[in-house]
């Protein structure tokens, strides 16, 4: 059989807003603010998108297949949003649509017809699809290739001092817990997270505190390098967590420019719920998930 080439030349309208960054750097905080804009859907985590990007980056998925699968995944998400199918209605979850300022629209859409009638709802289909991913960095460039000039990027970064305890509890999950859905690589018989492949020997021979310090050092340096590589990209915005929570207005102005919409005064309650602006960077929300991860002072991811 001849080798097939996968294609998908037709997609629904609308842009993608990708919120990426290391675990613990404030993506959930940013996502709640992003939800305050009328042009955006409620942000959601997209582990499938992460896995497709990583598969392409590590040469496990060929380019044509990666592009087609990413487009199909995005179209499925857009369509499901338009009829509130497969959305998260768990009240306690950080990305629950019940936390969205658009929650009543999503509840109404549960009762809409599907099929061709749903496809005509351009208002919902055309909103920015806001997808949260973890430490993709350069692996996310395949999304730009799939949707040229239709991808907006927000990348979060944070002082690693405030990330250490969070990552010290996160690192042992890799290869040891089915709840962790990070892509694992087999490195000399050891299951390691995909993003440490290039220094696998050092990683497998270190203890957990050593692994944590190593990953943070290398990931922060790579994040800074990635941010610098995007300097000329007008559709890219890096958000420093510490600066944002203390002096948010400069970043809100930049988000307004990125999205082409002003953050409404009526949405200032979103900032209040996130304790922004703060007198101290650790004056964040004391959520159970942060305590479980040993990062109750983070108030970020």
> What's the chain's length in residues?
301
Is the pLDDT confidence value at 285 over 80? no
* Model pLDDT, residue 1: 79
Kindly indicate the confidence band of residue 43, based on its pLDDT and cuts at 50, 70 and 90.
very high
Using a pLDDT cut of 70, give the percent of the chain over it: 91
Return mean pLDDT, the chain: 90
Q: Is 106 helix (H, G, I), strand (E, B) or coil?
A: helix
Kindly indicate the confidence band of residue 297, based on its pLDDT and cuts at 50, 70 and 90.
very low
Kindly indicate the confidence band of residue 267, based on its pLDDT and cuts at 50, 70 and 90.
confident
User: What are the DSSP E strand ranges found in 1-124?
Assistant: 16-21, 44-45
* Model pLDDT, residue 287: 52
- 16-21, strands of its sheet edge to edge: 44-45, 129-132, 16-21, 151-157, 236-240
Is the pLDDT confidence value at 276 over 50? yes
* Model pLDDT, residue 119: 58
- d(C-alpha 192, C-alpha 176), whole Å: 10
**10: burial class by Cβ within 10 Å (0-12, 13-18, 19+)?**
exposed
Kindly indicate the confidence band of residue 112, based on its pLDDT and cuts at 50, 70 and 90.
confident
The mean per-residue pLDDT over the stretch 96-113 comes to 90
Q: Is the pTM of this model over 0.75?
A: yes
Buried b or exposed e, range 100-114, using 16+ CB within 10 angstroms = bbbeeebeebeeeee
* Model pLDDT, residue 58: 98
The mean per-residue pLDDT over the stretch 34-61 comes to 96
Is the pLDDT confidence value at 48 over 90? yes
Sign of the CA dihedral running 51, 166, 137, 75: positive
Q: Please list the residues that pair with 20 across neighbouring strands.
A: 155
* Model pLDDT, residue 286: 56
Q: How many CA atoms lie within 13 A of 216 on its CB side?
A: 22
Kindly indicate the confidence band of residue 264, based on its pLDDT and cuts at 50, 70 and 90.
confident
- d(C-alpha 298, C-alpha 212), whole Å: 17
Residue range 174-228, pLDDT digits in tens? 999 999 999 999 999 999 999 999 999 999 999 999 999 999 999 999 999 999 9
Nearest 10 degrees: Cα torsion 279, 285, 286, 290: -110
Residue range 126-143, pLDDT digits in tens? 899 999 999 999 999 999
């Amino acid at each position: 059989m001849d080798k097939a080439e996968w294609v998908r030349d037709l997609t629904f309208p609308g842009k993608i807003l990708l919120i990426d960054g290391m675990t613990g750097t404030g993506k959930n905080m940013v996502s709640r603010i992003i939800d305050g804009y009328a042009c955006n859907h409620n942000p959601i985590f997209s582990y499938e998108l992460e896995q497709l990007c990583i598969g392409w980056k590590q040469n496990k998925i060929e380019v044509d297949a990666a592009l087609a699968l990413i487009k199909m995944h995005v179209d499925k998400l857009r369509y499901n949003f338009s009829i509130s199918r497969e959305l998260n209605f768990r009240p306690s979850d950080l990305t629950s649509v019940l936390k969205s300022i658009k929650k009543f629209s999503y509840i109404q859409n549960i009762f809409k017809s599907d099929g061709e009638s749903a496809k005509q709802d351009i208002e919902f289909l055309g909103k920015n699809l806001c997808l949260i991913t973890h430490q993709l960095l350069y692996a996310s460039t395949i999304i730009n290739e799939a949707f040229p000039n239709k991808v907006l990027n927000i990348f979060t970064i944070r002082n690693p001092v405030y990330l250490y305890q969070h990552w010290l509890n996160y690192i042992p999950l890799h290869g040891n817990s089915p709840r962790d859905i990070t892509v694992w690589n087999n490195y000399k018989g050891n299951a390691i997270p995909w993003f440490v492949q290039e220094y696998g020997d050092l990683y497998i021979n270190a203890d957990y505190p050593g692994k944590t310090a190593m990953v943070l050092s290398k990931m922060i340096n790579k994040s800074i390098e990635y941010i610098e590589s995007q300097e000329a990209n007008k559709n890219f915005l890096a958000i420093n967590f510490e600066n944002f929570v203390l002096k948010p207005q400069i970043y809100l102005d930049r988000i307004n420019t990125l999205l082409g919409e002003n953050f409404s005064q009526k949405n200032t309650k979103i900032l209040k719920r996130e304790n922004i602006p703060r007198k101290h960077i650790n004056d964040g929300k004391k959520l159970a998930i942060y305590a479980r991860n040993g990062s109750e002072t983070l108030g970020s991811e």
